[in-house]
Amino acid sequence: MSVLLYAPMVNVNEEQMNLVEWHKQPKEFVNKGELLATFETTKSTYDFHATDPGFFVPLVEAGSQVTVGEVIAALTDQPNEDIQNLLSVETKTEEAKPQSLQQTADNRWTRKAEILAQRHNIPPQEMERRVSADNRITEEVVQAYLQQKSTTAEKQANQGFSNATERILILGGGNVACLVLDILARIPQQTAVAILDDNPALQNTTIMGVPVLGNLDRAKSLFDQNFFDKAALAVGILPTRRELFERLTTLGIPFVNIIDPSAIIGVNAGMGTGNMIMAFCRLGPESQIGDNNFLSAYVNIEHHNKMGSHCTFGPGVAMSGGVTIGSSVRFGTGIYIEPRLTIGSNSVIASGVTLTADVPDNTVVRAKANFHN
Amino acid sequence: MTTYLGSLQLHLQQLLSVDSTVLVMGEDILDPYGGAFKVTKGLSTKFPDRVITTPISEAGFIGVANGMALRGLKPIVEIMFGDFITLGADQIINYAAKFAAMYQSALEYHLVIRMPVGGGRGYGPTHSQCLEKLFLGIPHITILAPSIYHDPGLMLASAIQQPGPVLFLEHKLLYSQELITPANSPFAVNLSDESFPLVRLTNNTEKTADLTLITYGGALWLPALLQKMAEEEIWLDVLVPSSLNQKAHPTLAVSASHTGRVVIVEEGAGPFGWGAQIAYDLQHAMLNRLTAPIAVIHAENTIIPATQALEQLHLPNLQKIEQKIYEVLS
């Protein structure tokens, strides 16, 4: 049988080599195993022997560069045989290659559409009926179906629960952000979508798996793009907390109350918005707090307390009943407050104080027994 | 248009031209042969005193390079096949990696060890491996792996300025390839502005990505994968770091935080590899925010076959990656 001969791989590092010499004349008969050609690579020379018997038809000239795998000669059964057939078979198999590598899987669906349909338990026939046989079933088709379905029966069944997840933008990427994210991790109805912070070192990082997407100025544009539903201030320090709340509220950005699931909110207790209520806090019955207050863990706002806005608490501050607190009051850690006292706005109550008398506005109350180093 | 090989050749010449302390050492690197993969072709003719051919003795000549680096020279060593790095491991781990930490600021030390790595050419079990995991996790070694989307020559120039020893991995399949740049790529390519950049690719800049794919080095299947996934309406955020011996680049977690689904592909064999570490870092950064477990694809946990058809089955390939992506999305 007539055969084609290919340039062998002599040196694994080289795709090309020099064909130095043909040892036979064109049309000369060659026996199997006879020396036919010599190649030279950059490392060695290599003798090439006939793989079959036949009449020799050289297809490249001695002295030329050949590529590994290239057809270099033919050995034919008959002298003067036409080798065009052999060569055309060769090109055909080459052309056929890419096709055989192609996916043979059903091409009717895009994979995205298929996966989406499976995720939502949509019967495949339902989609196939909607699209003519020569068109692919795409994500758009499945999405349209889901949209339609959710506007009718499914939506009724899910009333009050569809779109239940509130998307929260966290403002501030410091330690307080971790407190807020920790709470959100335990509240399935709320999810943090991103964090904004002015610190350049935080950009392009993640905090507990939530990306930092820019500085605080981006909040407005992200809200306008419907990227989030509500904002939460992860800042525990006054007056920054107050300033940010007021600035962003003016821009029309809504805030959310973040309430740890372990907190107890009593009957008829009420609050404004933007409050942070950490683990094991309690708002007693009939108590009322304003906006943007920051309650660390174990803060007890007792029954019938009234509190303004922007107050910050260290852990473990316990009120008695009927206390009235102004706005922007800073409480330290571990403070007890007697019943029915009034604490004026912009005051500071130091850690460890047991308060037994009213505090006017703008007053700093220090603890006598505090240890000072 | 520049090939991967062309970029390395060009920058090696420039490095030797501008800095007389740079020299190149390795087996068979002199002209006319010019090295097994021709990276040093033409170099010994231009700089006969600073291109040094060596005996077959990796431990010996990496040791010599160590001495040169200690005395203020900047040797660039070529290991003919990355597989042979094991012979020089003692010089790298117990000497080169220790100097900087032991002598601190008293020492200005620069050494780059270039290694052609990876399979796909039918070179068999001992000429096709990705052995970088042997050195990953060893402190004070920088391990770099420029992909076809990086500029390897430019990275080599930065590598020789890097303090401490650098292992510089060049995947064999890439040498002949045209570099893919933001200008000539059919898909969006972004490079971070670090000396050893992170490449970020996507097959759809309009839509939110469905999945984060992380890989490095060879990964010649990437252009075809991006194309195929685009046809299937699956939008990928592909991240290709070039510096391996460090914690996951923060952008990896940023991407994962958007997609919630991650596939990592590496060519090295079996478990305990780079992919496992990146998966660990990501799960740590992501807490419970991943939608599906992180998948890692690597070569089969056995020797690399010489037969090319079997080698294809052994290494991560387009079909395996595609299948894994569907699995993670389902």
Each residue's pLDDT tens digit, B2-23: 999 999 999 999 999 999 999 9
**Hey, are the CB atoms on B326 and A111 less than 8 Å from each other?**
yes
Whole-number average pLDDT of chain B? 94
Average pLDDT over residues B266-295: 90
Average pLDDT over residues B100-118: 87
Amino acid A369: pLDDT: 56
Model pLDDT for residues B74-92, shown as the tens digit of each residue: 999 999 999 999 999 999 9
**Residues within 8 A of B (CB atoms), A 64-103 only:** none
Mutation choice for B interface testing from A206, A207, A212 by most B CBs within 10 A: A206
Amino acid B57: pLDDT: 96
Residue A78 has pLDDT above 80, yes or no: yes
**Structure tokens belonging to residue A218:** 């981006």
Model pLDDT for residues A203-219, shown as the tens digit of each residue: 988 998 899 999 999 99
B288 touches chain A (CB under 8 A): yes
Average pLDDT over residues A232-261: 93
- Last residue in a domain, options A200, A218, A250: A250
Which residue, among A50, A47, A57, has the nearest Cα to A30 in the 3D structure? A50
* Chain B nearest C-alpha distance from A154 (Å): 22
A204 vs B37, B210, B251: nearest CB: B251
Shared domain for A263 and A354, answered yes or no, is yes
Shared domain for A268 and A316, answered yes or no, is yes
Amino acid A371: pLDDT: 53
Residue A102 has pLDDT above 60, yes or no: no
Amino acid A106: pLDDT: 66
Check residue B249 and report its DSSP letter.
P
**Hey, are the CB atoms on A211 and B287 less than 8 Å from each other?**
no
Nearest-CA residue of chain B relative to A204? B251
Nearest-CA residue of chain A relative to B318? A101
- Rounded percentage of chain A residues whose pLDDT exceeds 90: 66
The answer as to whether A19 is a domain residue is yes
Confidence grade of residue A162 (pLDDT, cut at 50, 70, 90): very low
Alpha-carbon distance of A231 to B201, in angstroms, equals 31
Amino acid letter for position A341: L
- Last residue in a domain, options A64, A96, A128: A96
* Chain A nearest C-alpha distance from B37 (Å): 7
Residue B24 pairs in a beta bridge with B51, B76
The answer as to whether A337 is a domain residue is yes
B207 touches chain A (CB under 8 A): no
B258 touches chain A (CB under 8 A): yes
Residue A104 has pLDDT above 70, yes or no: no
Shared domain for A360 and A276, answered yes or no, is yes
Amino acid A119: pLDDT: 85
Shared domain for A327 and A263, answered yes or no, is yes
Shared domain for A244 and A267, answered yes or no, is no
Residue B14 pairs in a beta bridge with none
Mutation choice for B interface testing from A109, A115, A122 by most B CBs within 10 A: A115
Amino acid B122: pLDDT: 86
CATH code, domain carrying A25:
2.40.50.100
Shared domain for A213 and A265, answered yes or no, is no
| Residue B293: count of CB within 10 angstroms of its CB | 11
Q: Which residues contact B168 (CB under 8 A, 6 or more apart)?
A: B112, B113, B114, B115, B144, B155, B156, B159
**Hey, are the CB atoms on B288 and A113 less than 8 Å from each other?**
no
Confidence grade of residue A132 (pLDDT, cut at 50, 70, 90): confident
Alpha-carbon distance of A316 to B170, in angstroms, equals 59
What domains lie within chain B, and their CATH numbers?
4-174 (3.40.50.970), 188-329 (3.40.50.920)
Mutation choice for A interface testing from B5, B234, B235, B254 by most A CBs within 10 A: B254
Alpha-carbon distance of A268 to A285, in angstroms, equals 6
**Hey, are the CB atoms on A119 and B32 less than 8 Å from each other?**
no
Amino acid A160: pLDDT: 37
Residue B107 has pLDDT above 80, yes or no: no
Q: What is the full DSSP assignment across A295-337? A: E-TT-EE-TT-EE-SS-EE-S-EEE-TT-EE-SS-EE-SSEEE
Point out the least confidently predicted range of A106-115, B177-186, B195-204, B206-215: A106-115
Amino acid A125: pLDDT: 86
CATH code, domain carrying A201:
3.40.50.20
- Rounded percentage of chain B residues whose pLDDT exceeds 70: 99
Point out the least confidently predicted range of A146-155, A268-277, B209-218: A146-155
Domain count of chain A? 4
Amino acid letter for position A178: C
Chain B partners within 8 Å of A165 (Cβ): none
- Last residue in a domain, options A218, A233, A250: A250
Amino acid B134: pLDDT: 96
Q: Which residues contact A281 (CB under 8 A, 6 or more apart)?
A: A260, A263, A264, A295, A297, A298, A299, A300, A301
The answer as to whether A155 is a domain residue is no
Q: Which residues contact B232 (CB under 8 A, 6 or more apart)?
A: A110, A111, A112
The answer as to whether A360 is a domain residue is yes
The answer as to whether A101 is a domain residue is no
A167 touches chain B (CB under 8 A): no
Amino acid letter for position B154: L
Residue A156 has pLDDT above 80, yes or no: no
Which residue, among A255, A178, A263, has the nearest Cα to A212 in the 3D structure? A178
Shared domain for A309 and A241, answered yes or no, is no
The answer as to whether A113 is a domain residue is yes
* Chain B nearest C-alpha distance from A107 (Å): 9
* Chain B nearest C-alpha distance from A122 (Å): 14
B127 touches chain A (CB under 8 A): yes
B326 touches chain A (CB under 8 A): yes
The answer as to whether A372 is a domain residue is no
Q: Which residues contact A194 (CB under 8 A, 6 or more apart)?
A: A169, A170, A210, A211, A212, A213, A222, A227, A228
Q: How many helices (H) and strands (E) does chain A have?
A: 8, 31
A369 touches chain B (CB under 8 A): no
B326 vs A43, A115, A206: nearest CB: A115
A206 touches chain B (CB under 8 A): yes
B33 vs A42, A113, A208: nearest CB: A42
Amino acid A151: pLDDT: 61
Which of A214-218, B153-157, B191-195 has the largest mean confidence? B153-157
Residue A99 has pLDDT above 80, yes or no: no
Check residue B209 and report its DSSP letter.
P
Shared domain for A136 and A185, answered yes or no, is no
Q: Which structural domain range is residue A196 located in? A: 166-250
Average pLDDT over residues B252-267: 94
Is the ipTM here above 0.95? no
b/e map A93-103, b = 16+ CB within 10 Å: eeeeeeeeeee
B286 vs A12, A42, A209: nearest CB: A209
Q: What is the full DSSP assignment across A5-61? A: EE----STT-SEEEEEEESS-TT-EE-TT-EEEEEE-SS-EEEEE-SS-EEEEE-S-
The answer as to whether A151 is a domain residue is no
**Hey, are the CB atoms on B254 and A110 less than 8 Å from each other?**
no
Confidence grade of residue A182 (pLDDT, cut at 50, 70, 90): very high
**Hey, are the CB atoms on A208 and B256 less than 8 Å from each other?**
no
A115 vs B34, B254, B330: nearest CB: B330
Shared domain for A221 and A273, answered yes or no, is no
A110 touches chain B (CB under 8 A): yes
Amino acid B50: pLDDT: 97
Mutation choice for A interface testing from B257, B304, B320 by most A CBs within 10 A: B257
Model pLDDT for residues B29-60, shown as the tens digit of each residue: 999 899 999 999 999 999 999 999 999 999 99
